[in-house]
Structure 1
C-alpha cells in the first residue's frame, strides 16, 4: 500500500476540481507524485507534456597537434508527448543545433539550424496494477527523419558532414524500458538499439546499442536527486562501405541529476553526463551538460 501517494491524489483532486470542471494535476491522474523528466512519465489517457532541453557537449577525433578535429555543439530540443490511450505515449522531438568544427590547422566551420525530427511511440505492455502501479514495462520504437536542411558556407559550398545539423538519413530505433516505484525511491532501466541508414555523401553512422539504468530519491514533492549510468556500444561509421578511422567501441557515463518542481505540473531538471569509461577508437569526449523543463497541460 502506498498511503501517502493515495492521500496526495485525494488532496489534489479536492483542491483542483471546481464545481463546473474536471481538471486535475498530472500526479493526481496517474496516482503517483514522482518527479519525472520527459520520457519517464507515467501514462494516463489524455496526458499532454511539453518539454525543452538544452545540451552542451563535444568530442575530439584524432591526435592532438597531428590530425585532431574538434566538434562542439549547443543543442535545444523541443518535444511534445501525448497519450491517446492509457497504455500508449506518442512523442515528437525537434532539435535546434549550433555546431562548430575546428581542425588542427585552425580551419573552422560553423553551422546552425533545425536538425532531424524524431518521432517515437512507447507502448506499456505490462503493469502490476491499473492505478498507481509499482512496475511498468514498455516497448519503445521510433525513427529519426531527414528533415534537417543541408547548410552551405558563404561561398555556396556545402559544409562538412560534422558541421551539418542533419544527417540526411532515416534512422530507426527500438527497445525495452522498465520503471519501478518504491515509496520515495524510483528506478528505471532501458536498452535501445539504433540502426542508421545511409545519408549524405554515402555516409552511415554505425549501429549502436544504448543502455541506461538509474535510481531516484525524492524526499519531498518539490525536489529529487537521481544517479544513473548511461552507456553506448557502437560500430564505426563508414563512407561507401569503407570504415572511418575514428569511432566505434564503447563509452559509459555517470549521470547525476537534480529535479525540482517550482509549481504544479512543472519539472526542472539539471545534470551532467560524465564519461568514466571511454574505449572509443581515437575519440575523446567532453562531459555533457543538460538543463530541461517539462510541463503537463
Structure 2
C-alpha cells in the first residue's frame, strides 16, 4: 500500500505538467533530408517560415537603339502551414528594389512590395505515411495584384520594366515528384502560369517553370544540390500589341549548398547560371545569386 501511494505521489507532478509533445521536423516526418522552402515533407501541424534573398539582372534590345539594363535585389518572405498531412498552405510576399537604365542613360528606381503568391499543395500519393520515400503532389495557387503603381517625382507612372509587378491575377497549376533514397534525394517539378491582363493593359505570356534536381547528403548538417531549372514563356501583349521580347526558353544550371547550423534551421547558398538562352528581344540574363534561410517552428 505504501509503495502504491509513493508511486502515485511521484507521478502526480508528471501528470499535471504533461501536454502536447513537440518534436523536431526531422523526427516528425521521419526523414533527415535538408530541404528548401516548398520541397519539405509534410506532417500535420508543420509550420515553416523562410526568407530568400536574390540578386539578379538582365539586359535587352540593341545597345545603341533600344537597349535596357535592369538590376534587382529581392527578398521573399514566406510562411507555410500543414493543417493536414496531405495539405500544405503557403504564402510568399516579395520585397523588391529595382533599377532600370535605358539607352539614353535615363534611370528609374523603385522599391516596395511586389505581387504576392498564395498556394495550396495537395499530396495525392505517398508510398507510406511515415518517412515516405516517394511523394507526388499537385500545386494550385495564384499571384495576387498586391504591387502598387510606382510614380516618378513628377507623379508620372514609371515604365512597366521598373514596376515591381504586373498588377494582375495569375493562376498557376503545378505537379511535383520527390524521391528520398538514403543519402540521395531527387525532385522533378513543373508549374504553369496563365497571367491575366494587368497594369496599363499589359498581359504577360503564359509560362512553364520546371526543375530537375538531385541532392546528396552524407551528414545531418551538410548537403549538396545540383539542379537544372528551365523557363518557357509565350508572347506578351501590351494593350493589344503582341511582343516577342522575353518570350522563348531559357535554362539554368543551379548548384547549391545546404547547411543546418541548429535544429530545424536550414541555410541555403547558391547560384543560377544561364546555360541555354533562346529568349526573344536579345534578352541576356545574368547569373542569379541566392541565399535562403528556413526555420520550422
Which category describes the TM-score, using the shorter chain as reference length? Answer: over 0.9
User: In the TM superposition, what is the alpha-carbon distance from 1:167 to its structure 2 partner?
Assistant: 1.2
Counterpart-to-counterpart distance in 1, 2:19 and 2:233? 55
Counterpart-to-counterpart distance in 2, 1:21 and 1:252? 46
User: In the TM superposition, what is the alpha-carbon distance from 1:219 to its structure 2 partner?
Assistant: 1.1
Corresponding residue number in structure 2 for 1:10: none
Q: Deviations over 1:116-162 (max 9, x none)?
A: 11000100000011110100000001100001111111111111111
Corresponding residue number in structure 1 for 2:5: none
User: In the TM superposition, what is the alpha-carbon distance from 1:166 to its structure 2 partner?
Assistant: 2.1
Corresponding residue number in structure 2 for 1:51: 50
Corresponding residue number in structure 2 for 1:293: 293
Q: Deviations over 1:188-212 (max 9, x none)?
A: 0001111011001100110011110
Corresponding residue number in structure 2 for 1:98: 97
Corresponding residue number in structure 2 for 1:199: 198
Unpaired runs of 5+ residues, structure 1, are 1-17
User: In the TM superposition, what is the alpha-carbon distance from 1:66 to its structure 2 partner?
Assistant: 2.5
Structure 2 counterparts to residues 185-224 of structure 1, below 5 A: 185-224=184-223
Corresponding residue number in structure 1 for 2:122: 123
TM-score normalised per structure 1: 0.92
Q: Supply the RMSD in Å over aligned alpha carbons.
A: 1.1
Corresponding residue number in structure 2 for 1:138: 137
Unpaired runs of 5+ residues, structure 2, are 1-16
Q: Deviations over 1:211-233 (max 9, x none)?
A: 10000000100010000000011
Corresponding residue number in structure 2 for 1:164: 163
SS of residue matched to 2:290:
strand
User: In the TM superposition, what is the alpha-carbon distance from 1:67 to its structure 2 partner?
Assistant: 1.5
Q: Deviations over 1:93-138 (max 9, x none)?
A: 0000001010011001000001111000100000011110100000
Counterpart-to-counterpart distance in 1, 2:92 and 2:19? 35
SS of residue matched to 1:141:
strand
Off by >4 Å, runs of 4+ in structure 1: 18-21
**Quick check: 62-71 or 220-229, which moved more?**
62-71
- Rg (Cα) greater in structure: 2
TM-score normalised per structure 2: 0.92
User: In the TM superposition, what is the alpha-carbon distance from 1:237 to its structure 2 partner?
Assistant: 1.2
Corresponding residue number in structure 1 for 2:148: 149
Counterpart-to-counterpart distance in 1, 2:235 and 2:57? 18
Corresponding residue number in structure 2 for 1:41: 40
Corresponding residue number in structure 2 for 1:257: 256
SS of residue matched to 2:33:
coil
SS of residue matched to 1:263:
coil
Counterpart-to-counterpart distance in 1, 2:157 and 2:279? 28
Counterpart-to-counterpart distance in 2, 1:272 and 1:54? 11
Counterpart-to-counterpart distance in 2, 1:57 and 1:173? 23
SS of residue matched to 1:212:
strand
**Count of residue pairs brought into register by the alignment:** 280
Counterpart-to-counterpart distance in 2, 1:52 and 1:215? 22
Corresponding residue number in structure 2 for 1:76: 75
Q: Deviations over 1:38-84 (max 9, x none)?
A: 00000000000000000011111101232111111100000000000
Counterpart-to-counterpart distance in 1, 2:290 and 2:53? 6
Counterpart-to-counterpart distance in 1, 2:45 and 2:114? 28
Corresponding residue number in structure 2 for 1:12: none
Counterpart-to-counterpart distance in 1, 2:19 and 2:176? 39
User: In the TM superposition, what is the alpha-carbon distance from 1:270 to its structure 2 partner?
Assistant: 0.5
Corresponding residue number in structure 1 for 2:284: 284
